[in-house]
Structure 1
Amino acid sequence: MKLATLKDGSRDGQLIVVSRDLKTAQIADGIAPTLQRALDDWNFIAPQLEQMYNQLNSGRGSNTFDFDPKNCMAPLPRAFQWADGSSYVNHVELVRKARNAEMPDSFWHDPLMYQGGSDDFIGPNDDIVLGSEEWGIDFESEVAVITDDVPMGVKVQHAAEHIRLLMLVNDVSLRNLIPAELAKGFGFFQSKPASSFSPVAVTPDELGDAWKDGKVHLPLRSTWNGVQVGQPNAGVDMVFSFPQLITHLCKTRKARAGSIVGSGTVSNKDSAKGYSCIAEKRALEMIAGGEPQTPFMKFGDTIKIEMLDKNGKSIFGAIDQSITEPEA
């Protein structure tokens, strides 16, 4: 099943069901007005949405319309929680090595995770508006899951049962603001502005055999200014699976329905697969030659993030955005 949120002038938008080929859609307000409402009572509402989805795919949907990602908000325009992990330890290792920082052994056994702002996400085709190029603007291509209610202390073997939907993320980072914030010893804040999400969130069954062991075994493509710069496989070198991340999140607290858990920047040890953020490219340049060569993003730059199935069809639709400065 594929779900999206249509812009309607409200904070939370309107839930729509989208066809598997991402060509048509149908408003689901007779079933649930918003995605959050569907997640709040998933066991009752999901079968009704599934029925609508099946009818849509078979050409029997009523009041259908052409699906246009430009008319979409993030699937969850605001969420109760956004917790982003760092499952691809290769990425962390490269960035630390570039600045001659020691890599703690615990990073391979205990996930890194930060809690980001979740009250104002960016739509998949909306501009990323930022105040200065000097902040070191970077994209971060990731995968994320949306959970139902997860109990505190959930075990890894049961955590996957709480994954309801998956989507793609651009976890925007302001690299030049990060060092001073981390030096305070209190984590990210200003250096992590609003994140962007794919037009469509999908149920795990839509991924077929690519969804295995709590990981998505497909390449994640990043295209910067029209040039594909990375296609690492999201299932390769993912040290911590989504069930492991959820277990980490819920060690000391519950997670309520509508919580989003990110994978962290997708990264493969095979550098030929390219990169999912500029910081990793710069780290490789520093390791090789002592100085970074690749600049961060500028106003007017574009970033496209997409995942295709084995038949070359887009699964989530594309995050496709421009970097812009605020209007005067």
Structure 2
Amino acid sequence: MKLVTFETGGARHIGAVLPDEATISDFTAASDTAHFRDMLALIDGGERALDAARALEAKPVSVRELASVRLLAPVPEPRQMFDCLCFEKHLIQSARNGHLVRGGPPVIPVNDGKIPDVYKELPVYYKCNRFSVIGAGQDVIRPRYTTKLDYEMEFGVFLGRSVKNATLEEAEKAIFGYCIFNDVSARDQQMSEMRGMLGPSKGKDFDTGNVMGPWLVTADAVDPSNLSMSVYINGEQVSSGTSADMMWSFPQIIVHSTQDETRHAGEFFGSGTVGGGCGLETGRLLKDGDILEMEVTGLGRLRNRIVFQS
């Protein structure tokens, strides 16, 4: 299923995009069941809630035109967010182009095309601002303190159940679904603050800085092992990559994260940026008015406008 959160008549609803990708089965309008209240309630409802959703996808009770509603992020406020660095090519190319943002050596050294060992020893991650999430069609607003705004082409998973000390099998079963993720970055701020060996903080944390959508595709409909990942700016393709290059799988990331710590349903893990999937790698940072589109096989096309506030 392609699950969406949307606004209609001033209220938030959830539903499923139908096969024509032009209409939505509106779960919230069709039933007052608690698990159709919002996407987190649906996730919390487990298999029983998913079965009810599948039934309404197969035989819709209330149908809306996709063009008549305002899409939000599939989960407007995730319970927690983590972002990883799973693509070696991204790290190597970003380090080589650090001079585009600041003088001197890169924050993360890459010697002779070899990344620091830690990235292959551990699926390292940081925590994101879960309150700065927006969805497809919403504007990305450049924070006033940066002149180097960048996009990052990623995808990620939402957990469908709580897990602790998970095995690989348990971790895989805990994945509820997948969506496209754009980890917007203020590169000059990021590179400056990370010299302190903490963060990132304001390099990542600002309103509209985490973009998800256009929908959340349930795990049964996705093979994450070889997804094509493409970026377009103003209609021109500027990069392409593949999820096959991930150093760590999502189940491996979840296993690591749940060591002696409970991860909860509704929490999100990002993949990190695919090789070539950001302006720091290609030399094309974002400009005012740019139309940015990200496309991943089976996960849709995420479109946003870039706005520079004065």
> TM-score w.r.t. structure 2 length?
0.87
Query: How far apart are residue 135 of structure 1 and its match?
Result: 3.3
Is the CA contact (8 Å cut-off) linking 1:224 and 1:301 kept in structure 2? yes
1:206 aligns with 2:226: no
What CA distance in whole angstroms lies between the structure 2 residues aligned with 1:24 and 1:160?
A: 31
What CA distance in whole angstroms lies between the structure 1 residues aligned with 2:173 and 2:121?
A: 23
Correspondence 1:299-318 to 2 at 5 A? 299-308=288-297, 315-318=298-301
What CA distance in whole angstroms lies between the structure 2 residues aligned with 1:39 and 1:135?
A: 39
1:44 aligns with 2:45: no
Q: Which deviations, in whole Å up to 9, do the C-alpha atoms of 1:222-247 show, x marking residues without a partner?
A: 1012210112122x211100101111
Query: How far apart are residue 324 of structure 1 and its match?
Result: 0.6
Is the CA contact (8 Å cut-off) linking 1:69 and 1:124 kept in structure 2? no
Query: How far apart are residue 111 of structure 1 and its match?
Result: 1.3
Query: How far apart are residue 70 of structure 1 and its match?
Result: 6.5
Deviates more, 1:193-202 or 1:76-85: 193-202
1:181 aligns with 2:198: no
Deviates more, 1:95-104 or 1:35-44: 95-104
Correspondence 1:288-299 to 2 at 5 A? 294-299=283-288
Correspondence 1:1-328 to 2 at 5 A? 1-8=1-8, 9=10, 13-29=12-28, 30=31, 31=33, 32-55=36-59, 61-68=60-67, 71-98=70-97, 99=105, 101-102=109-110, 103-132=115-144, 134-192=146-204, 193=206, 194-207=209-222, 211=223, 215-234=224-243, 236-267=244-275, 275-281=276-282, 294-308=283-297, 315-326=298-309
Q: Which deviations, in whole Å up to 9, do the C-alpha atoms of 1:87-121 show, x marking residues without a partner?
A: 11221133234546243212112112110000231
Q: Which deviations, in whole Å up to 9, do the C-alpha atoms of 1:275-315 show, x marking residues without a partner?
A: 2111122xxxxxxxxxxxx342111112101124xxxxxx3
Compared with structure 1, are the counterparts of its residues 113 and 148 closer, same or farther at alpha carbon in structure 2 (3 Å cutoff)?
A: same
Is the CA contact (8 Å cut-off) linking 1:146 and 1:163 kept in structure 2? yes
Q: From the two aligned structures, give the one with the greater strand fraction.
A: 2
Q: Which residue of 1 aligns with 2:101?
A: none
Identify unmatched segments of 5+ residues in structure 2. 98-104
Q: Which residue of 2 aligns with 1:311?
A: none
Is the CA contact (8 Å cut-off) linking 2:163 and 2:171 kept in structure 1? no
Query: How far apart are residue 69 of structure 1 and its match?
Result: 8.8
3-state SS in 1 of match to 2:51: helix
Aligned pair count reads 288
Query: How far apart are residue 152 of structure 1 and its match?
Result: 1.9
Is the CA contact (8 Å cut-off) linking 2:228 and 2:241 kept in structure 1? yes
Is the CA contact (8 Å cut-off) linking 1:133 and 1:297 kept in structure 2? no
> What amino acid maps onto 2:183 in structure 1?
D
What CA distance in whole angstroms lies between the structure 2 residues aligned with 1:237 and 1:69?
A: 38
3-state SS in 1 of match to 2:40: helix
What CA distance in whole angstroms lies between the structure 1 residues aligned with 2:156 and 2:20?
A: 21
Q: Which residue of 2 aligns with 1:287?
A: none
Q: Which residue of 2 aligns with 1:286?
A: none
What CA distance in whole angstroms lies between the structure 2 residues aligned with 1:84 and 1:33?
A: 27
Cα RMSD (Å): 1.9
What CA distance in whole angstroms lies between the structure 2 residues aligned with 1:305 and 1:132?
A: 24
3-state SS in 1 of match to 2:91: helix
Is the CA contact (8 Å cut-off) linking 1:2 and 1:20 kept in structure 2? no
Is the CA contact (8 Å cut-off) linking 1:167 and 1:198 kept in structure 2? yes
Q: Which deviations, in whole Å up to 9, do the C-alpha atoms of 1:34-56 show, x marking residues without a partner?
A: 0010111222211000111122x
3-state SS in 1 of match to 2:123: coil
What CA distance in whole angstroms lies between the structure 2 residues aligned with 1:133 and 1:119?
A: 20
What CA distance in whole angstroms lies between the structure 2 residues aligned with 1:217 and 1:68?
A: 30
